[in-house]
Amino acid sequence: MLMLGERAEHLNNCKIGEILTKRYTVAIFLVTTFIVNRGEAQMPKKSIDEKIDDILIELTLEEKVDMCHAQSKFSSPGVPRLGIPEIWMSDGPHGVRAEIKWDSWGHAGWTSDSITAFPALTALAATFNPELSKAYGKALGEEARYRKKDILLGPGVNIYRTPLNGRNFEYMGEDPFLASTMVVPYIQGVQENGVAACLKHFALNNQETWRGHISVEASDRALHEIYLPAFKAGVQEGNVWSVMGAYNQFRGQHTTHHALLNNEILKGKWGFDGVLVSDWGSTHDTREAARNGLDIEMGTHTDGLSSTVKNAYDYYYLANPLLEQVKSGEIDEALIDDKVRRILRLMLRTNMNQNRPLGRMNNPQHLEVARKVGGEGIVLLKNKGDFFPIDPRKEITIAVIGDNATRSMTVGGGSSELKARKEVSPLEGLQERFKHATILHSLGYKSGAPVYGMETESNLDADSLQDVAVELAGKADVVLFIGGLNKNHSQDCEGADRMNMALPYDQDELLKKILRVNRNVGVILISGNAVETPWLSKVKGLMQAWYLGSEAGHAIADVVSGDVNPSGKLPFSFPVKLEDNAAHHFGEQSYPGDGVSQTYKEDILVGYRWHDTKNVKPRFAFGYGLSYTTFRLAKVKTDQKTYSAGEQITLSCKLSNTGERDGSEVIQVYVGKLNSKVERAEKELKAFQKVAIEAGKSDVVELSIGIDDLVFYDESISDWKFEKGDYLIHVGTASNKIVKKLKINIQ
């Protein structure tokens, strides 16, 4: 077994003469391929499948089984005698995780594993900018490649069902069309580097509470219309090379080895030709895993070799137990061959692809991508009296209050923790940009951990901290309250959901006290989830700033100062109160369940679909976001009034920037079926486009919708079905800000 740091670099580390003397067909093939790729010989090229065939016949059963399970926390073995390398994996969806020890979760202590922390995926989704998603994936993939990773464990596309889910910040919001559109370029960007993206968590992993065993009961319609589309797009449009199973069960069977999800849908109907990897510890049975699509088993009840032999890697479900069942005839070896074929295919795309680029480590270009995503992802939710932007040329006193102004948000949160080379805090970013202002800072509250540079206040109790902050607020011209959630347990963190929607650490009470002494208050929320805002009517400004990674402080200062005009849109709805969210409306059996199972009683009416259809007014709607300029959407029309199946609806409109600043607006097109024979949402997002327009200028924008994209999943035939008749097209700039409705007929 290779130890950490002794990673096989395949043929680059092999002596050609030694390989040839073994006289293995596969070795000869690999060597000649190595030479051909360098232009030193001319031989016919073989297809990937032919290459796999050549390798497969040389593998023993024991070697094939070994390739199907882990050998360390983040690697699976190769076959050293044939020059087949190990596969190395790394978390996570918004940055390459620091190196972990071979057998334990401790950090390996490397000095060369500091990276760019990119904004969390909620921020990326809020940009509504697929081109930026491609740049994000490309930069992230470059860092993964430089670190010699073969699989990057992300992106995540589980649907935002409840604002309490601890991992919502890792995902792309509540709408399947938005998530589908944004995830495809991300995958393509990562994989351009010869690094496999790993789409996760497949599927229906929408809460952390009881995630290891809770059995989800959901209709086929909800499954196919809400929870699977982003995975399907990642597989069929993004051509993702790996997928990660989930912890939870679906209809009584664990999703990591689920017959319907993995065999029938993923590898069957969708034609996925890559590798299905377990989440760490999500495998539960040898026979089910072997027969129901799992290819590589990771992290099963083990800390490697530091515990008993029963927990060592050779005792994983897809290790010795699998080998014994194949030898006894209980499991067909053809199943193992299929897994190894997939693993070899992934290798030929990654670590056995001699033409893949070398990658690049953390650099100014990557930081610029992170900063741009942050700037475009920040959502301006309220701006009374043009509170924002704050002119950086003014000589004013700004009180920056809040633990989140200085807290590191790249560490913590579970498996998505990051070791950023440098993380610019919001306070640092504001101090750097507002050089003419006097900036005062007070924690106001604290979340239990010491804050670097604030040792004096860190020793104060909660009441004293509030008193100091209120006194400071009373002396300032402007107060910027930088609060929200953090990456602590039971907040935005893997392993546990939030307890409620309220801000923790008495932030609401602190804001109430601040507002008594200063009415010129703006709030900057840092979180990956919706929160209650009982103080909303009294503050002048509100921004949703997400977890923005290495360049967090710069991105926030860019928007606060007006250097960047905000253009982010909410990728999920903010309910007024928890019960207004569809999952919570139906009580505990809907969320979190009874400890054994839960039922998605809201069915297809997730997020804005629920708010619109049931007339439940949100605090802030899906797709909502303000700008420092103003826009007018006019002359909205379709190219015709009647369509047939297979055609495209072409919609055009004129977008004008009627303000004094350059800016970007997101045109959003929703479609609803009139007089449907089945229950449907009032409207569903079917197209969007982010358009940048200079002040005083206009642009004519065209968007298209495929008629075939208006189908619904018909449970009576277990397939998609189109419904003829009248449809209503809603065009606007948020799900609740519709400018024009157009009626069309589809024959």
Please classify residue 335 by burial: count the beta carbons closer than 10 Å to its beta carbon, then call 0-12 exposed, 13-18 middle and 19+ buried: middle
User: Which stretch of DSSP H or E encloses residue 27?
Assistant: helix 25-36
Sign of CA dihedral 407, 380, 382, 660: positive
In 485-619, beta strands by DSSP E:
521-526, 541-544, 597-599
∠ Cα 577 581 586 (to 5°): 110
DSSP strand pairing (478-484 vs 521-526): parallel
Phi/psi at 48 (nearest 5 deg)? -60, -40
Residue pair 571/174 in contact by the 8 Å Cβ criterion = yes
Please classify residue 131 by burial: count the beta carbons closer than 10 Å to its beta carbon, then call 0-12 exposed, 13-18 middle and 19+ buried: exposed
DSSP strand pairing (698-706 vs 712-714): unpaired
Q: 631 - beta bridge partners?
A: 657
Residue pair 646/708 in contact by the 8 Å Cβ criterion = yes
Q: Which of 279, 295, 558, 603 is flagged as catalytic? A: 279
Task: For residue 255, give the nearest of 270, 266, 239 by alpha carbon.
Answer: 266
Residue pair 127/370 in contact by the 8 Å Cβ criterion = no
In 150-252, beta strands by DSSP E:
151-153, 196-202, 215-217, 242-245, 249-250
Quick check: is 279 catalytic? yes
Task: For residue 398, give the nearest of 386, 390, 388 by alpha carbon.
Answer: 390
Sheet of strand 521-526: strand arrangement:
379-383, 541-544, 521-526, 478-484, 397-401, 438-442
Query: Which residues are catalytic, by number?
Result: 279
